[in-house]
Amino acid sequence: MPADIYLGLMSGTSADGIDAVAVDFSSPKPRVLGSHSRTLPAEIRTTIHKLAMPSDNEIDLLGQLDVQMGELFAATIIELIRKNGLSIQTIAAIGSHGQTLRHRPPGSLTHPFTLQIGDPNIIADRTGITTVADFRRRDMAAGGQGAPLVPAFHKAAFQSAEANRVVVNIGGIANITWLPIANESSGFDTGPGNVLMDAWVSRHLGKTYDEAGVWAASGSANKALLEDLLQHPFLALLPPKSTGREDFNPTWLDICLQKYRDLAPEDIQATLLAFTAKTITDQIKRLSKETNTEVYLCGGGAYNDTLRQAIQALLPACPVTTTAQLGIAPEWIEATAFAWLAKQTLNRQTGNLCAVTGANAPVILGGVYYA
């Protein structure tokens, strides 16, 4: 068999686990051949969250975590291969997004930067497979935000000649991709996805996430708190724009909650869900005018039934479903996108959309680490 299978690795802002997929790109539509997930150990997740904000002894923590994540990424790939009976000879490359620790895009610092870890040298060495990584920094070198990168894949895989589409990726941070029948595609981060809800449910129930949004559904959103949350300066920025845990985190949330100490925890969770739903749908309305527009959810948030219902309620004229209807399950979209980006890189094809990231030119993304 020709080596037209690419593997994708993704560990997102929530830092709850690693997703890996094997994708066959020999046909016009990508076909997911197999998938595998690995939960990150609690101590690793804690260190990731710690390094997302300034702290002590950062360089030692960073160096060690870079190696640990590289080993975990490699182990996940090996498990994916074994689980699905794949042959290394049929695999062209691995595309690894890495674990984001800091994302400081243009406008945030004098010298903006982005930092993803998970040493690709280790991945290539342990697996024996060429690995492509460090995708964001080339886009930033070209003047872009370095994120979101997945919209380029959304455009390649999901654009329709019959209907306007919006793909909404709800990971720790949420982003949307606008895929009109005519005119240029666009996309950007809209604000928090699951990051605040996950932090709040962890604090009060000891769970990593609010399954199906059941806890949020038991509370009632507080309008005054929602209005305060909506004052975050990121939300007023015009695209292209990207964000991360640096902007939306438990410390910021606690500051916002100082006036609301009497609110029940479940009401705060309901408000955080309403915050995510509104920041997403406000941008969809701005782009689409809700005319002949299909909305497809992906990422872990696609399985939050309460959130999905809230989005549908705010977009009554748009059918809201998941990317499963387009052939790829919501949880595998991002990993599939980085398999596709690895393919683009090895074929010396560009992988960014300038309308999305703000880069001054389309560029080939990532560094190649040959096995």
Structural domains in the chain plus CATH codes:
5-145+334-369 (3.30.420.40), 150-326 (3.30.420.40)
Query: What torsion, rounded to 10 degrees, do the Cα atoms 228, 231, 233, 234 define?
Result: 90
Q: What is the pLDDT of residues 200-230, one digit of tens each?
A: 999 999 999 999 999 999 999 999 999 999 9
Q: Which two tokens stand for residue 267?
A: 């009401």
What backbone torsions phi and psi does residue 370 show, to the nearest 5 degrees? -75, 140
At residue 361, the pLDDT reads 97
Task: Determine the length of the chain.
Answer: 371
At residue 16, the pLDDT reads 86
Question: Could you give the CA distance from residue 238 to residue 358 in angstroms, rounded to a whole number?
Answer: 11
Q: Is the pLDDT of residue 183 over 90?
A: no
Q: Is the pLDDT of residue 1 over 50?
A: no
pLDDT band (50, 70, 90) for residue 37: very high
Q: What is the pLDDT of residues 278-293, one digit of tens each?
A: 999 999 999 987 667 9
At residue 14, the pLDDT reads 80
What backbone torsions phi and psi does residue 240 show, to the nearest 5 degrees? -75, 140
At residue 2, the pLDDT reads 55
Residue 112: cis peptide before it, omega within 30 degrees of 0: no
> 189: which strand partners?
175
Mean pLDDT value across the chain:
95
Q: What is the pLDDT of residues 103-130, one digit of tens each?
A: 999 988 899 999 999 999 999 999 999 9
Question: Could you give the CA distance from residue 364 to residue 371 in angstroms, rounded to a whole number?
Answer: 20
Share of the chain above pLDDT 90, in %: 91
Beta-strand pair 5-11/17-24: antiparallel
Q: Are 26 and 4 in contact (CB under 8 A)?
A: yes
Which is more confidently placed, 28 or 117?
117
Buried b (16+ CB within 10 A) or exposed e, 332-343: bbbbbbbbbbbb
Q: Is the pLDDT of residue 136 over 70?
A: yes
Question: Which residue spans within the chain are E strands per DSSP?
Answer: 5-11, 17-24, 31-39, 91-104, 113-117, 131-133, 164-170, 173-179, 186-192, 293-298, 320-322, 367-369
Share of the chain above pLDDT 70, in %: 99
At residue 4, the pLDDT reads 87
Q: What average pLDDT does the segment 87-95 reach?
A: 96
At residue 112, the pLDDT reads 95
Whose tokens are 């890189």? That residue is 345
- Letter for the amino acid at 29? K
Distance of CA 54 to the CA centre of its chain: 22
CA torsion sign, 307 to 308 to 312 to 315? Answer: positive
Q: What is the pLDDT of residues 256-282, one digit of tens each?
A: 999 999 999 999 999 999 999 999 999
Instruction: Please work out, in degrees rounded to the nearest 5, the angle formed at the alpha carbon of residue 151 by the alpha carbons of 178 and 116.
Output: 145
Question: Could you give the CA distance from residue 71 to residue 74 in angstroms, rounded to a whole number?
Answer: 5
Q: Is the pLDDT of residue 357 over 60?
A: yes
- Letter for the amino acid at 345? T
